[in-house]
Amino acid sequence: MKNPANPVYCGVDTTDLIWAAKLIQSIAGGPKPAVGGIKLGLEFFLAHGAPGVRYAFPEPVRATGVGFFLDLKLHDIPNTAAGGIRAVAELAPTFITIHSSGGRDMLKAAVEEAGTQAAKHNVPRPKLLGVTVLTSLDRADLEATGVNADPSDQVLRLAALARESGLDGVICSPLEIAALRKQCGPDFVLMVPGIRPAGSAANDQKRVMTPRQAVDLGATNLVVSRPIYQAADPRAAAEAIAREAGVNDL
């Protein structure tokens, strides 16, 4: 089981397999991981696939209790999206992402396939998280794609669709946490990127917040990438961020 006391998931954004393995070992290995989970995304997975996941995030590290977030942002016709779930289920991810904007049929097909494949491989069912509005987008960006809505309103609309379709939670920016918690209830997973420790740069994220602020509003998990892996001491940086989020037993 993943460590429920630490909400911080480190995003490992790279195609460098050896670097990724060393980083994951440094922050997630040993008897006391510095993070609650590891996020591997599209960049890493396209470069290395399932074998790369097994190499960079091996069973001895996963046995420490850290979660595994496979951030693929699936978006396709229902049959193909379900096939994507089927292709990665044996890796036993804790979370998989899928675009809520893909529609109800696609979301339901993914949910059904997640249950089927978990039973087939005798692994816990991966929790499916709907991607709402990327944290790099603001209202002008949405309007450029034909969506005439405030980002927060669009997030709530897509989150409602995700919940109705059987998903376990959504990805959202820090600015939507409170409204989503109210709309979707206490058990709906809110995985929140755009987290920056006090005093750090926002980079390309346009809707950001500190770890403590996000947790206080009701975030379930926090995704932190560059502030950890670009630090001179990634483990120390991860521990500091976890403490800022309220984790005291590191």
Q: Which of the residues are catalytic?
A: 73
Instruction: For tokens 């050896």, name the residue.
Output: 18
The Cα–Cα gap between 26 and 232 comes to 12
Instruction: For tokens 């560059």, name the residue.
Output: 226
**For residue 156, what are the CA distances in angstroms to 2, 104, 133, 170, 184?**
28, 15, 10, 10, 9
Q: What is the phi/psi pair of residue 70, to 5°?
A: -100, 100
As given in the structure block, the two tokens for residue 183 are 């709309």
Q: How many residues does the chain have?
A: 250
How far is C-alpha 250 from the geometric centre of its chain's CA atoms?
A: 22
Q: Are 71 and 45 in contact (CB under 8 A)?
A: no
As given in the structure block, the two tokens for residue 119 are 């039973």
Q: What letter would DSSP give residue 124? A: P
Angle at which helix 17-28 crosses helix 42-56, to 10 degrees, equals 60
Residue closest to 122 by CA, chosen among 96, 77, 147, 90: 90
